[in-house]
Amino acid sequence: MTIRFDDRVAIVTGAGNGLGRCHALGLAARGAKVVVNDLGGSVDGSGGSSDAAKAVVAEIEAAGGEAIANGANVTKMDEVKAMVAQAMDKWGRVDILVNNAGVLRDKSFTKVELNDFGFVLDVHLMGSVNCSKAVWDIMREQNYGRIAMTTSSSGLYGNFGQTNYGAAKMGVIGLLNTLVLEGAKYGIKVNALSPCAATRMTEDIIPENLLELLTPESVTPALLYIVSEDSPNRTIITAGAGTYARTIINETAGKWFPNEDQTPEKIAEFWAEISDPATQKEYTSGNDQTTNMLTKAANGLGIKI
């Protein structure tokens, strides 16, 4: 079955270049009406121009699609609300939000300025919060919504010199996990894309002979899947150079100790059993962890549950 977005309205942030541009073009090519949002700044977030967003809109329109440009700064809620209002005034609904806007201010932790740390968190994490908040009640009322966060291996696994970026990119996973729970009964699904692509942000760190493999076009199919009508939910999909995978956060079953053995020495003694990957399980809420721990304690103490 062909995935289409006819009669759907999508907002894509940071859509003037790179991945965002490719996402916007991909959604429009499959029938979506697209708000192409881009502040037009450089990779580090400085400057600003609407020319890039307007150019993407022109591409979409030239191919027979519908789109509008918007220059909202995702860190400013009043501008984000105005962007959503623009979409509602034009098309009457918002079905898809792609939180893609981002910046880089890379430095090792010992050298990074706290202002730069906060700015990166503000754009990636609070930008995603602001945009999601601005469309949330609309999606609840129409009983349909698809929100895509953009995470990164830098957050999931770490990357030297990117404490700020990594913290922000892991932060959006925490946001996602709870939005999934709160949006479930309203037809809202929330997923995350972890892309590996050659963009303005990566061109300085990827060997040149591999850049041609890491195209935005190889990532966008994953984005289109996780915002489609029959998308999964609470899923992190990784994509790059034609490979697609799922990232899963698991927790081992653990081991229960009676009071007298609840010591760091006992943890060290049984660490292999505690951390046994064969017992790993994916939880879908914080309650799952609590249930596991209390069930083990009850069984160990002989308490009936």
Amino acid at 51: D
What string of H, E and C letters represents the secondary structure of the chain? CCCCCCCCEEEECCCCCHHHHHHHHHHHHCCCEEEEECCCCCCCCCCCCCHHHHHHHHHHHHCCCCEEEECCCCCCHHHHHHHHHHHHHHHCCCCEEECCCCCCCCECCCCCCHHHHHHHHHHHHHHHHHHHHHHHHHHHHHCCEEEEEECCHHHHCCCCCEHHHHHHHHHHHHHHHHHHHHHHHHCEEEEEEEECCCCCCCCCCCCHHHHCCCCHHHCHHHHHHHCCCCCCCCCEEEEECCEEEEECCEECCCCCCCHHHCCHHHHHHCHHHHCCHHHCEECCCHHHHHHHHHHHHHHHHCCCC
Other C-beta atoms lying within 10 Å of the C-beta of residue 112? 17
Q: Is 165 a catalytic residue?
A: yes
Other C-beta atoms lying within 10 Å of the C-beta of residue 285? 13
Task: Return d(Cα 246, Cα 226) in angstroms, integer.
Answer: 12
The region that residue 160 occupies, defined by phi over 0 for left and psi between -120 and 50 for alpha, beta otherwise, is beta
Active-site choice (157, 165, 186, 283): 165
Task: Return d(Cα 10, Cα 153) in angstroms, integer.
Answer: 25
| C-alpha neighbours within 13 Å on the C-beta side of residue 166 | 15
The catalytic residues are 165
